[in-house]
Amino acid sequence: MTGKTSFLDSVSRNFDKAADLSSLPKGLLAQIKACNSVYQMRFPVKIGNDYQVIEAYRVQHSHHRLPTKGGIRYSQKVNQDEVMALATLMTYKCAIVDVPFGGAKGGVKISPRAYTTAQLQKITRRYTAELIRKNFIGPGIDVPAPDYGTGAREMSWILDTYLTFKGGELDAAGCVTGKPVNLYGIRGRTEATGRGVYYALKETLSYADDMKELGLTTGMEGKTIAVQGLGNVGYYAASICQYEGGAKIVSVAEYEGAIYNEKGIDIDKLMKFRKKTGSILGFPGSKTMKSRKDVLTVKCDILIPAALEGQIHKGNAKSVKAKIVAEAANGPVTADAEEILLKKGVMILPDMYINAGGVTVSYFEWLKNLSHMRFGRLEKRFDHNTYMNLVGLVEEKTGKTIGAKEKDFLTRGADEIDLVRSGLEETMITAYQQIRLIKKRKKKVTDLRTAAFINALDKIASDYMTLGIFP
Ligand code: NAD
């Protein structure tokens, strides 16, 4: 028995759990919960000698802040409920990390593997044309980004199609984020969600009392991690935790199966091996597990599901051995499974917090597009000169010379990538501190997801009140 709960049901149940603990007016809570606009479309695309009718969606969950924002997913499993659930999560995600957008999401019901690059381009351009036609895209309206099955390549097709129709718009480049760096993108966007997972975990692992409750020591060094899905989010989360945090990746799952090595799996070597052989299976030193799902129940400190929703459900939650589940994917733990995990004392770092690094850096990219300038361009040289003067003064006053290497380190002005990473780290730390404090202070709040919801609800409610829609 898999005990499947629909993704939208899970999101709705989690919302209700938090709403029950909130003193906000019922009508306001109902307005926050509702999806504001759902656009379901069908369009024909010529594939080979035939026409295929493509099913696609764009859902804008909340207009309390504009533009709305959220990724576009390409998957055979896309359906209206799934896109609604994902758009809903985006609203809370943006509120939690103080990104001033409403939530949205798009979905195209195709398996990208089944199409050539040229065919995918055709589908993407046609989907974008539908969005333009219905006024569902624009830098001040709704701004898509990558999600499962899409990346910078698709975002550049979206931008180019938008420019074809609206080339005269001054801020047109801000109609989509996650673009290639040389096409109005920003450094650090590709890694952003995975890097955000790393910063969030680092902060979580730094609280001695919380770690004691879980039977863990503080710090990431030496922690064992299992990762499901080595795509954009899973790969960067795993590699940054390993190379920068000193964690040990003991198990990895991809489409073709799962592998295990208690001594650790070198993620970059594994990626190279997969590129060469087409599979992670057979990676030197690792054992192949019976099923790819075994990654979810392997013995480890931290489990990072980074593939799709509904992976940990009523049927397998009891077997999860990790002490921390970091929801890098959206909705990987169903509401039923969450009850089981919480009873077992597992800490769940909720999706709407831990995978918010992507939308955070998308926000930076959008700001860059509106300002028409690279971050750091104005101040980098000025800062460098100021630090050089300071170092010179220290040398003069002490009569000692500072070495060239140290001087370079001390006097460097920040580049765009430095500012993006520092802004992302600050965002993930501040958001975690807010959520943790709510959990500590409110007696009835016993899990981080409910705390995150309460944090988001209070911020969104305050926006509605400022707008004067609710007194
Ligand atoms: P992706 O397409 O880059 O990667 C997903 C990977 O998971 C693929 O390599 C796929 O082969 C693998 N996979 C699929 N099913 C699997 C299974 N059952 N077992 C093992 N591996 C499996 O997608 P992504 O952008 O990394 O997104 C992954 C998740 O993260 C999604 O839930 C998405 O909504 C969420 N997310 C993505 C972003 C982003 O910036 N891309 C931001 C926030 C959240």
Domain span including residue 135: 35-183
Tell me the average pLDDT across 187-202: 98
The alpha carbon of 230 and the centre of ligand 1 are apart by a number of angstroms equal to 7
Q: Is 54 within the bounds of a domain?
A: yes
Question: Is residue 197 included in any domain, yes or no?
Answer: no
Is residue 323 domain-resident?
Answer: no
Query: Is residue 155 situated within a structural domain?
Result: yes
239 in a domain, yes or no? Answer: no
pLDDT in tens, 341-367: 999 999 999 999 999 999 999 999 999
- Structure tokens of 433? 């501190």
Atom 34 of ligand 1, nearest CA residue: 330
For ligand 1, whether the C-beta of 91 sits within 6 Å is no
Active site (annotated) includes residue 105: yes
**Token pair for residue 446?**
């016993």
Average pLDDT over residues 245-259: 98
Amino acid at 93: K
Question: What mean pLDDT, rounded, does the chain reach?
Answer: 96
Instruction: Give the per-residue pLDDT at 414.
Output: 97
Residue 258 included in any domain: no
CATH number of the domain within which 111 lies: 3.40.50.10860
Domain count, the chain: 1
| Residue 467, pLDDT score | 82
Q: What is the three-class DSSP state of 307?
A: coil
pLDDT above 70: percentage of residues in the chain: 99
- Distance (Å, whole) CA 11 – CA 89: 8
How confident is the model at residue 78, as a pLDDT? 98
Place of tokens 């380190």: 409
Name which of 401, 353, 381, 223 is nearest 299 in CA terms.
Answer: 223
Cβ(253) to ligand 1 under 6 A?
yes
Q: How far apart are the first and last CA of the chain?
A: 47
| Cα–Cα distance measured from residue 367 to residue 240, given in angstroms and rounded to the nearest whole number | 26
Residue 51: inside a domain, yes or no?
yes
Interval 43-101: pLDDT, tens: 999 999 999 999 999 999 999 999 999 999 999 999 999 999 999 999 999 999 999 99
In this predicted structure, what is the pLDDT of residue 1?
Answer: 38
Ligand 1 atom at minimum distance from 328 CA: 30
Distance between CA atoms of 263 and 285, rounded to whole angstroms? Answer: 9
pLDDT at position 4 over 80: no
Query: Relative to the CA of 351, which ligand 1 atom is closest?
Result: 44
- The mean per-residue pLDDT over the stretch 222-235 comes to 98
**What local confidence, expressed as pLDDT, does residue 2 receive?**
45
Classify residue 415 by its DSSP letter: P
Half-sphere exposure (CA, 13 Å, Cβ side) for 38? 12
Residue tagged active-site, from 69, 93, 105, 323: 105
> Could you tell me the pLDDT band of residue 210, with boundaries at 50, 70 and 90?
very high
**CA 183 – CA 168 distance, rounded (Å):** 17
Query: At residue 220, does pLDDT exceed 80?
Result: yes
pLDDT of the residue at 471 = 67
CA separation, residue 357 to residues 11, 48, 124, 370 (Å): 20, 39, 25, 20
User: Is 198 a member of any domain?
Assistant: no
Give the model confidence (pLDDT) of 25-49 as tens digits. 999 999 999 999 999 999 999 999 9
pLDDT over 90 (residue 273): yes
pLDDT at 3 over 50: no
